[in-house]
Amino acid sequence: MRAVWILIATAVATTVAVPVNEISLAEKIAIAGDHTRNSFLEELLLGLIEDLRHVLLNGNDDLPPLDPLVIEQLSLSDEDIPVPGAQIELSGVKVSNLASFVIDDLSVSLTSVLLQRFRIQIDGRIPFLDIDAVYDASLEDSSGKQLLSREDTPDNHPLAAVYLHNCFCLCLVKNDRYDINVSAMGINLFGAGDAKIKVINPALKIDMLVSLRVSISQGVSLVLLETEAKFNLEAFQPEITGIFNDDGASAFINDFLAHFVPSAAQAYENEINEFLSETIHDIVSDVFDNLDL
């Protein structure tokens, strides 16, 4: 999933804040010495977040619009997903509604007057993400056996995935429909129908420790010292019909995935949070380095 974060990081880094006079900025931030929260920095960060939303929707001189985000090629291994030995290649994954994020709370609090350190806390979520795929895919099991390849499929096929008997089986779809006939681990999986996935309320809580530095040579700058991110997923809603050409089997697979994905996210909570903390730290550090104060 690093490809997604790299694109979003680029979008964040290309947002430009309105330049502020250095003396005026220092005076406004210094007001925080008598107050717990710093409204000036809060407004500055909210402005950057809205700049990000604008870039995601409209693009800029460096990037095309990123909502919907189409990932032409994505490789996943057992280092990315909780399936030992898994190797998955996806093409044309489309993620919609990235720019619909909601900031439920954002606060900037002074933690040290002497060191001019601030704690930034952001609580945000996306009401729902629609995830589809629009081209083709290949899949290998843990032994390296190819279960499905591009040569076996027509061009420009979306896909969906189901987890069954410790093996990922890929469904190929066209125009949001799939047609599958795959044998793996002694299980024959077949069917045809619709395939869509909706991710409900993926949320992030971000806690950052930031230092304000003022110097004659470099002016006013923000330095990110620490970052902690916590991810939460409310629900995962696959809408796959026609598995085994049977409504009951499809309902079972959908119900299984709806429980399995949030459970896997919870089981690997520490690994997910560590990855997000490191990634967000790198992104925000780049933003602060390029911030014109």
Q: What is the pLDDT of residues 223-270, one digit of tens each?
A: 999 999 999 999 999 887 777 777 888 888 888 889 988 988 888 899
Q: How far is CA 140 from the centre of its chain?
A: 25
Can you give the residue range of the structural domain that contains 277?
2-290
Residues 6+ apart with CB under 8 A from 53: 99, 101
pLDDT band at 37 (very low <50, low <70, confident <90, very high): confident
Tokens 């032409």 belong to which residue? Answer: 72
What does pTM read for this prediction?
A: 0.66
At position 286, the amino acid (one-letter code) is: D
Give which of 175, 20, 16, 151 is closest to 94, Cα–Cα: 175
Assess whether pLDDT exceeds 60 at residue 90: no
Distances (CA, A) of 217 to 32, 189, 221: 24, 66, 11
Q: What is the dihedral of CA 9, 12, 16, 21, to 10 degrees?
A: -90
User: Mean pLDDT across the chain, nearest whole number?
Assistant: 72
Residue-level pLDDT at 148: 44
How many residues can be counted in the chain?
Answer: 293
For residue 95, the model assigns a pLDDT of 86
pLDDT in tens, 140-198: 444 544 444 444 433 333 333 333 333 444 444 444 444 454 444 455 556 666 667 89
**pLDDT of the residue at 165:** 34
Do residues 86 and 126 make contact, with C-beta atoms less than 8 angstroms apart? no
